[in-house]
Structure 1
Amino acid sequence: MRRKGSSFHQLRKRIPLDILEKARGTSLAVPVGGEIFHMVVGENASEITISLRTRDPREAKERQAVALAYLDSVWQALREGPKRLTQKQIAALAGEAYRELVASFEDNPGSPETWKQIVQLQIKSMAPDARERWFGPTVDLILAKHRLVVDKDSRSALISAVGVSVSQASVRLAQNAGGDYSPDTVVTRFPPLELSREAKSAKPLPKGSQTITGLAEGWWRENKMAGRAVSTHEAYQRVAQQLSEFLGHDDARAVTEDDIIAFKDHRLSQGVSLKTIGGGDISGIRQLYAWGIANRKVSHNPAEGVKVAKVKKKRTRDPGFTDEEAVAILSDAFHHKRTGKASAHLSNARRWVPWLCAYSGARIGEMVQLRKQDLRQENGLWIIRITPEAGTVKDGEYRDVPLHPHLVEQGFPEFVSKAANGHLFMKVFGDTEKAQRGAWRTTKNRVRDFVREIVTDPEVAPNHAWRHRFMTLGRNLGISRDVRFSITGHDTDAEGDDYGIATNEAKAAALAKYPRYEVKPLDRARQRVSEPVELPQLTE
């Protein structure tokens, strides 16, 4: 709202009745637009009134969300009692004061004498009331930044620690002013801040609030009906949970652009790749908030302006399997036999999935989810149907792929006819979507591992190397683009290709042109073709 006589937006918030008496007389340090608004709740107050110090309605909403999140943490602390900081947490928070002061002045610190005088003044200000005047506002700013409400002993100890760290920072700046920019040995003494969820005084959000994780669920309720992939929902759900845990709260309206940047830096510090952060994390958050704005769940998108550097990947070889690699993988698969306690479905996957991918250019995930009913004979042709009814298909559309004659000769139709109803290469425990996704991921990873036992070159991605090779061979054989794309499920982006279809007969004729793979003898099938490399689990 706006206060009469002022063009600035204003926040008015009622104090909850259950803590009204406790709140009166409480000192507050409310974050407003990067600054801290200090106030004491009056003895007769029943609400909090704060100027948001902006005329911009959108900016006012963002500042309101941050201020409300802080006030909610104060109310919860009053219900539960303030939290006590550990000595390590106090040292970490004091370190923030040190780094902030040094960073603010180190480029142009002025004269050494100025900082020496400041140090002397700080030494003289050792009385409790003097320390409060000097360092109390800084402590309140640090606590408000982390939405911390602490007990009196913790605050007093933190004021003393900040006093010491500010004196140390002044000494450092005096050195800088004298031209000494040697490595800072003091800053390494401060530990990183680690806060438990309890220390952050988290509480259930007020009725009507929108959670970060709730954005992911709301997005999925709508987009599931629109046919979006389960893997996309899993990715969005995962990053929403990670962001919520990193921030220590689940209030979607309280998230700022600075929070997203801090989250990006956090993910970088974990060793996560730029590709994952930019194309997965930040992109996912941006999409969830875009949905939230469109559905009036939130009023701003904190990820909108956050950028992540794009990686220019250096390629040193063809992304598809070479002739030698392809033959080595398929020879190993051809000779594979189930042994010991090995599961039947994973053994069958190792035997058949590489061959199915080699002769179709399909993704590993599309092949491992094949069911018995997905193979049929029609007009003398054996045809596989790749369909979202069986599991994940990237574009959400089915496609028919005739079997290459070599697969028929090897007995794949007979293998399918003898199999039990349901999935050929997956053992699903339970009838839930989650159970099926877990089984699908397990089989896909195991097939990837089988391939990596033979081809260990990290420049080759097992999930797409067959697709690259299939397309390359198709070009060399003169197979038309629309037929190749119809087999592999690629989108042509050409309007003319939307007219008419590539028939199964046309696709079968094209596949018959692909040369047969001649397998190695059993004693040579397990030969490696490159150096070993350790890879993370395949995810989507």
Structure 2
Amino acid sequence: MPDMPKHTNVLRRTGSSVYYFRITIPTDLRPHFNGKKDVWRSLQTRDLREANRLAARIRVEWDDQFAELRAKDKATVVVALSDDDISRIVHMHQSRMMTFDSELRSQGLDNARYEQLGDDLSRLDQDARAAIARGDTWSVVNALEDSLRFEGIELDTSSVDYKRLVSAASKAYKRTVDALKARHEGEVVDDVPMPSLAPLQARAAIASKGAPTLVDILNKYQTERKLKSKSFDDMLQVVNRFHDCIGTLPVKQILKAHGLKYKEALLQKGLSAKTINSKHLAFLKTLLNWAAQNDYIEQNPIASVRVVVGKVQKESRTSYDLKTLQAIFNSPIYATENTRPVAGKGETAFWLPLLGLFTGARLEELAQLKVSDIVKDSLGWHIHITDRDDEGSVKTNESRRRVPLHSELERMGFGNYLETLPPTGYLFPELTPDKYGKRSSLWSQWWGKWCRRQLGITDKRMVFHSFRHSFKDICREAEVDEETHDALTGHTNSSTSRSYGSGTYPLSPLFVAIGQLNFKNIGLSHISWQRSY
């Protein structure tokens, strides 16, 4: 018996007995998939017959998705509608309804299908009557917009002309349902000829020709602002996602309704209110504000769009509690065995968590430190967090600061560690920058996995940044005033007095504050650095 042929999209990966579905992304649609050339999906079966069945269904889903994306790409938004436009759109929708009904009947209807179709027409009649009597037009609007989307046309749903169209479509919808019911009773009812929508499409295309899109605005914004690569890529990702949702429109045709639609789509995907407001909508508002300031549009149409946040929100990050801190600093890394996980980058795994605990600094601030940023003077050791060269960066102006090192770090052997390093190099030379120049990215991923797998820290709110929260807690417990611990951590302080003076917080009160901090309850007395080989 010959082997069963495999569906075109069914394959096995090397070393796997399970079948996979693989589809190649068409070249013109790859921007919607972040440039991916193909997509793999496990079919979770070793049975070829079952794999073929699943692949056939999944292929239909992908083809539908490709068709929808292409429709969005060619979609044009029309704001003003003439009486002729409205008439053409209404007749187009009628034609689709009548033609679909004819095709259904041409296949032949048994008793069950005939009765079901009669029930469907009764339901449509109720919807049509509700649209006219009560203005309950949702069913009319949904069907109408599906027909328009098929033709690659998007309408400004907030315009007066759109309301005129819905009114005309509601009346036509009722007449069409009456005609379909008459046909169902055996009367001769001809289909409605499909009108040409070319005048409508052509006018919209002419209006859009040469008008800048959000991608164009982003490129102009980048020319002026010179964003870092990571910031630019993040913005571009949001813009592409917005275009995927509402179509690639000129900025002049972007409406508040589009912003609301995008917000709803993000909420349905499960994104948090904070992520939507502070990233997705914030990026779009930045670009549209810039477009308005530079006369590409009159005003930002989505300025008021946001997710309403309740008074009580879940914490996105939290402090390491005492039990977790004790687990971290009693792990094999800090034991007498002198263990250093390879992926933890040697001595980096030992000193980065300790510096995070004792300084409250951000991970990247510590990762980018050079040996020359560690200074010892008459007051003691301190680190200098700065962006004074091309390789360093800080989050805010307040982030440029000096932070004294607690005496415990010197007891643990931090000075001895410094002596092993070249004076002109990095404090953590084993870290390598990612494509955006961030030295902490890969190490941060390792830290999260190591904490979960080795220490059982499963609270997703607990990340390296939790050291920063813990440091703030310890400052408060030591009754360090807010202005001083803001100066230590580089947080923005609203105090007017901070705007005066040299701009550099004096070291003396910072050393006093660090000396007040008490870490004894964590239990760190056993920690003493010895170089690993």
TM-score w.r.t. structure 2 length?
0.56
CA gap 1:137/1:259 in 2 versus in 1, 3 angstroms: closer
Alignment of 1:315-334 (within 5 A): 319-332=318-331, 333-334=333-334
Decide whether the 8 Å contact of 1:328 with 1:520 is kept in 2: no
In the alignment, what sits opposite 1:509?
A: 512
1:518 aligns with 2:519: no
Alignment of 1:359-508 (within 5 A): 359-379=358-378, 381-388=380-387, 389=389, 390-396=391-397, 397-419=399-421, 421-425=424-428, 434-437=435-438, 439-453=439-453, 454=455, 456=457, 458=459, 460-500=461-501, 502-508=505-511
CA gap 1:305/1:505 in 2 versus in 1, 3 angstroms: closer
Deviations 1:437-478 (A, max 9, x none): 3x4322233233344453635374424422222222222223
Decide whether the 8 Å contact of 2:319 with 2:467 is kept in 1: yes
Decide whether the 8 Å contact of 2:238 with 2:280 is kept in 1: yes
In the alignment, what sits opposite 1:143?
A: 151
- Looking at structure 2, the residues matched to 407 and 217 of structure 1 have their Cα atoms a distance apart, in angstroms, of 47
Decide whether the 8 Å contact of 1:215 with 1:292 is kept in 2: yes
Q: CA deviation at 1:257?
A: 2.1
- Code of the residue aligned with 1:145 in structure 2: it is I
Decide whether the 8 Å contact of 1:30 with 1:36 is kept in 2: no
Q: CA deviation at 1:220?
A: 3.5
Deviations 1:264-322 (A, max 9, x none): 22222322222211221112111111011112233332322323221444569993222
Secondary structure of 2:259's aligned partner = helix
- Looking at structure 1, the residues matched to 410 and 145 of structure 2 have their Cα atoms a distance apart, in angstroms, of 78
In the alignment, what sits opposite 1:33?
A: 79
Secondary structure of 2:479's aligned partner = coil
Q: CA deviation at 1:502?
A: 3.8
- Looking at structure 2, the residues matched to 484 and 136 of structure 1 have their Cα atoms a distance apart, in angstroms, of 60
The share of aligned pairs that are identical, in percent, is 19
- Code of the residue aligned with 1:346 in structure 2: it is K
- Looking at structure 2, the residues matched to 449 and 476 of structure 1 have their Cα atoms a distance apart, in angstroms, of 30
Deviations 1:191-215 (A, max 9, x none): xxxxxxxxxxx99x855x3231232
Decide whether the 8 Å contact of 2:324 with 2:457 is kept in 1: no
- Looking at structure 2, the residues matched to 515 and 434 of structure 1 have their Cα atoms a distance apart, in angstroms, of 39
In the alignment, what sits opposite 2:339?
A: 337
CA gap 1:311/1:251 in 2 versus in 1, 3 angstroms: same
CA gap 1:349/1:237 in 2 versus in 1, 3 angstroms: farther
CA gap 1:136/1:497 in 2 versus in 1, 3 angstroms: closer
Decide whether the 8 Å contact of 2:77 with 2:249 is kept in 1: no
Corresponding residue pairs, total: 360
Secondary structure of 1:434's aligned partner = coil
In the alignment, what sits opposite 1:214?
A: 216
Q: CA deviation at 1:263?
A: 1.9
- Looking at structure 2, the residues matched to 386 and 415 of structure 1 have their Cα atoms a distance apart, in angstroms, of 19
- Looking at structure 2, the residues matched to 107 and 502 of structure 1 have their Cα atoms a distance apart, in angstroms, of 69
Deviations 1:166-216 (A, max 9, x none): 79x959x99xxxxxxxxxxxxxxxxxxxxxxxxxxx99x855x32312323
Deviates further, 308-317 or 319-328: 308-317
Q: CA deviation at 1:350?
A: 2.2
In the alignment, what sits opposite 1:161?
A: none
- Looking at structure 1, the residues matched to 374 and 308 of structure 2 have their Cα atoms a distance apart, in angstroms, of 45
Secondary structure of 1:306's aligned partner = coil
- Looking at structure 2, the residues matched to 324 and 504 of structure 1 have their Cα atoms a distance apart, in angstroms, of 32
Decide whether the 8 Å contact of 1:452 with 1:462 is kept in 2: no
- Looking at structure 1, the residues matched to 79 and 317 of structure 2 have their Cα atoms a distance apart, in angstroms, of 52
CA gap 1:450/1:509 in 2 versus in 1, 3 angstroms: farther
In the alignment, what sits opposite 2:236?
A: 237
- Looking at structure 2, the residues matched to 36 and 505 of structure 1 have their Cα atoms a distance apart, in angstroms, of 75
- Looking at structure 2, the residues matched to 358 and 383 of structure 1 have their Cα atoms a distance apart, in angstroms, of 15
Decide whether the 8 Å contact of 2:218 with 2:287 is kept in 1: yes
In the alignment, what sits opposite 1:350?
A: 349
Secondary structure of 2:372's aligned partner = helix
- Looking at structure 2, the residues matched to 460 and 323 of structure 1 have their Cα atoms a distance apart, in angstroms, of 15
- Code of the residue aligned with 1:504 in structure 2: it is L
Q: CA deviation at 1:410?
A: 1.7
CA gap 1:409/1:434 in 2 versus in 1, 3 angstroms: same
CA gap 1:38/1:376 in 2 versus in 1, 3 angstroms: farther
CA gap 1:324/1:435 in 2 versus in 1, 3 angstroms: same
Q: Structure 2: state its 5+ residue gaps.
A: 1-74, 87-99, 105-120, 135-142, 156-172, 182-204, 528-533
Deviations 1:217-264 (A, max 9, x none): 33334334xxx7776544323212222333442633332222222222
- Code of the residue aligned with 2:496 in structure 1: it is E
Decide whether the 8 Å contact of 1:372 with 1:417 is kept in 2: no
Secondary structure of 2:437's aligned partner = helix
- Code of the residue aligned with 1:449 in structure 2: it is K
Q: CA deviation at 1:141?
A: 7.2
CA gap 1:387/1:31 in 2 versus in 1, 3 angstroms: closer
Q: CA deviation at 1:379?
A: 2.5
- Code of the residue aligned with 1:350 in structure 2: it is A
CA gap 1:368/1:264 in 2 versus in 1, 3 angstroms: same
CA gap 1:138/1:234 in 2 versus in 1, 3 angstroms: closer
Q: CA deviation at 1:488?
A: 0.7
Tell me how large the CA RMSD over aligned residues is: 4.5
